[in-house]
Structure 1
Amino acid sequence: MRRLVALAAAVSALLTGCTSAHAPDASRPASGQPGATSAASTSTTPPVSTHPRAATPTPTRPKTTARKSPAPATTRPPPVPPPVQFPPGSGPLVALNPGHNGANGSHPAEINRLVPADHYGNVKACDTTGTSTNAGYSEHEFNWDVTLRVRALLQAHGVRVILTRPDDAGVGPCVDQRAAIGNEPGVAAVISIHADGAGAGGHGFHVCEDSRPPAGAAVAARSHRLTVAVHDALLGGSGLSTSTYLGSNGYFPRSDLAGLNLATVPSTFLELGNMRNAGDASLQTSPAGRQRVAAAVAAGILAYLAG
């Protein structure tokens, strides 16, 4: 329990630090050149790394029958992330992958185009439109907003950040292209940021790692450590419980996610609450709630990088 309190304090410290460096405004699209590293800024949205956009969608998660799972974890003692501060702009390189995109829904032919889904010859749709709250707040907008907040927090600690898309007004890129961006030389970790859209009775976050990692035991072990670090930070300070409807204690391994299947670097995939649940949606639609979630994600990434 002491470690849980300490991790919550670490998330709180990141939240406090944000008051002097406001999170980027999600209403202002960022622009940049493919492969470029973004730089921190408090007044303009810095350039981001991205590759040419292409059509996109595939279901966020496979059809699954809702099933009861263990009560949300509350006793797992997460590790306390040691404080880590890298020299400005010279820390590890992290790729953030905000799921979906704002114009996906108006380009069905592009996003339904089949692309490689793994190293075994399987294919899937380029991307999907994502889900939304019952009131119409879209997942792609949530993903983008949280990603910008995480980026600002990481950059404040000297971490370099690239994004898989430059704004929230485009199409794609396809899931295989997103994976290729994450696999660029020098990337230390890839974090895919999503929210779920399940039955209204289920709530909470879950984290996914590949159930059949293709990149070898060493990368699989680092991916697991990254997944655990972010899971524990979310549990300690995001305001979300672990999922009550999928997986076990907030963990849900999957074999259908192209980003994980095609990764050659440590990667994890986050579902930051259920947008169809009133309680989760209340947090997701609140700027303060999104900042709290972003602070937890950033704390988990920093804990992983410090390890």
Structure 2
Amino acid sequence: MSNGSTPSPPRRLRGTLLVVVAAVVVVGLGGWLVWRSAGAGGEQPTAGGISGHGGGHSPAGEDGGHGSRGGEADKKHHDSLQGKVVVIDPGHNPHNNDHGREIARQVDIGNDRKECDTTGTATNDGYAEASFTLDVARRARTLLQKAGAKVVFTQDGDRPYGPCVDKRAALGNTAHADAALSIHADGSGAGNRGFHVILPARVTDGPADTAAIVAPSRRLGERLADRFHAVTGSARSNYIGHGTGLDVRSDLGGLNLSTVPKVFLECGNMRDPKDAAQLTDARWRQKAARGITEGITDFLAH
């Protein structure tokens, strides 16, 4: 008969219970360790802590490009333009608006006489072409210098106006540039989109003689158009060049008077809202600078 207390289990039964409890603990601990090593969700984390779904990406610079390649590859890239001279001509001048009489002065471009310089165009919101060209030129200068090039500017916003188009050409000639580029943006009608590269025509008149630079300038322009398109994603002009992104002209003093390979790059149409959205985007301008650098590098490497 019970006296109100729970009888103690036999010794053999207590031993069996202890073995069962120990087995449960071991199995549970092992399962927890497997779950932990799988990342608590069945996904193996990457080295950067980003889940391996394919949607993550490595950190990039402002231009959205890849990180540094490092080592010998990086050194080779940095030395690719060693000993080369590149002249960058940022189109117009932010101060030209204050010097209308000076920039209206006519200068000899060989087959004609034209204004010393112009004010350039602007977006509908007032972002000036002269500000755009300086920004892209400075970005390109940084990249070109990292590649080892000596970079000469025709103006850096440090002149009261200009210089005149004949002086711009002379600066490239005096520097004995391996390549020269004048950076611009167009001011055409809305709906006209894309970039184009202006190549020098054959002009032999007065102080102009482009016979020796027509062929190398075309090669420069072709390489520039290819890389600018690839890096920026911008389309070749839909209103100039018949889809090639190339246009030959004989009415630009900066080309007529050059004795070194030189082209003009119209990076887009400031009067078109879609193009203007790109031109006013600092990240896109960095891409433009990289496309310019790669185009010049491709030209000088071949």
- TM-score normalized by structure 1? 0.70
SS at the partner of 1:297?
Answer: helix
Structure-to-structure mapping, 1:143-222, within 5 angstroms: 143-167=133-157, 170-214=160-204, 215=209, 217-222=211-216
Please list the CA deviations of residues 105-159 of structure 1 after superposition, one character each: whole Å capped at 9, or x if unmatched.
11111000001112x3x21000000000000000000000000000000001001
How far residue 210 of structure 1 moved from its aligned partner, in angstroms, is 1.2
Deviation at 1:87, TM superposition (A): 7.5
Indicate if the aligned counterparts of 1:283 and 1:289 stay in contact, CA closer than 8 A.
yes
1:114 to 2:109 alignment: no
* CA distance in 1 between partners of 2:93 and 2:67 (Å): 28
Paired residue secondary structure (1:187): coil
SS of 2:267's equivalent in the other structure is: strand
| Matched-pair contact (CA < 8 Å) for 2:202–2:210 | no
Q: Work out which of the residue numbers 265, 275, 278 in structure 1 matches 2:273.
A: 278
Structure 2 CA distance for aligned equivalents of residues 287 and 157 of structure 1: 22
2:127 pairs, out of 137, 141, 160, with 137
CA contact (8 A) 2:116 2:162 kept: yes
Unmatched 5+ residue regions in structure 1? 1-11, 21-82
Unaligned runs of 5+ in 2: 1-59, 69-75
1:228 to 222, 225, 239: 222
When residues 151 and 198 of structure 1 are mapped into structure 2, their CA distance, relative to the original with a 3 A threshold, is same
Select the residue among 235, 238, 244 that pairs with 1:241. Answer: 235
Amino acid at match of 2:301: A
Q: 1:104 aligns with which of 72, 96, 111?
A: 96
Partner of 1:268: 263
Give, in whole Å, the separation in 1 of the partners of 2:80 and 2:241.
38
Q: Which residue of 1 aligns with 2:45?
A: none
Q: Do the aligned residues in 1 keep the contact of 2:202 with 2:211 (CA within 8 Å)?
A: no
Contact 2:139–2:289 (CA<8 Å) still a contact in 1?
Answer: yes
Once the two structures are TM-superposed, the CA of residue 213 in structure 1 deviates from its matched residue by: 4.5
Give, in angstroms, the shift of residue 253 of structure 1: 0.9
Question: For the residues of structure 1 that align with 2:179 and 2:259, how far apart are their CA atoms?
Answer: 10
TM-score, normalised with respect to structure 2: 0.71
Specify the alignment match of 2:37 in structure 1.
Answer: none
Deviation at 1:166, TM superposition (A): 2.6
Secondary structure at the counterpart of residue 183 of structure 1: helix
Distance 1:204 1:107 in 2: 31
Distance in 2 (CA, whole Å) between partners of 1:96 and 1:291 is 16
Is residue 141–residue 168 contact of structure 1 (8 Å, CA) maintained in 2? no
Inter-partner Cα distance in structure 1 for 2:165 and 2:211: 23
Query: Percent identical across equivalent pairs?
Result: 45
| Cα contact 1:233–1:297 (8 A) shared by 2 | yes
Alignment correspondent of 1:289: 284
CA RMSD of aligned residues (A): 2.3
Q: CA deviation at 1:168?
A: 6.1
Structure 1, residues 40-62: CA drift from partner, whole Å, max 9, x if none?
xxxxxxxxxxxxxxxxxxxxxxx
Inter-partner Cα distance in structure 1 for 2:175 and 2:141: 19
Aligned residues: 231
CA contact (8 A) 1:140 1:168 kept: no
The answer to whether the 8 A contact 2:199-2:262 is kept is yes
**1:186 Cα deviation after fit:** 2.8
Higher relative contact order (Cα pairs below 8 Å, separated by 6+ residues): 1
Counterpart for residue 79 of structure 2: 86
Q: 1:86 to 1:150 in 2, by over 3 A?
A: same
Deviation at residue 292 of structure 1 after TM alignment: 0.9
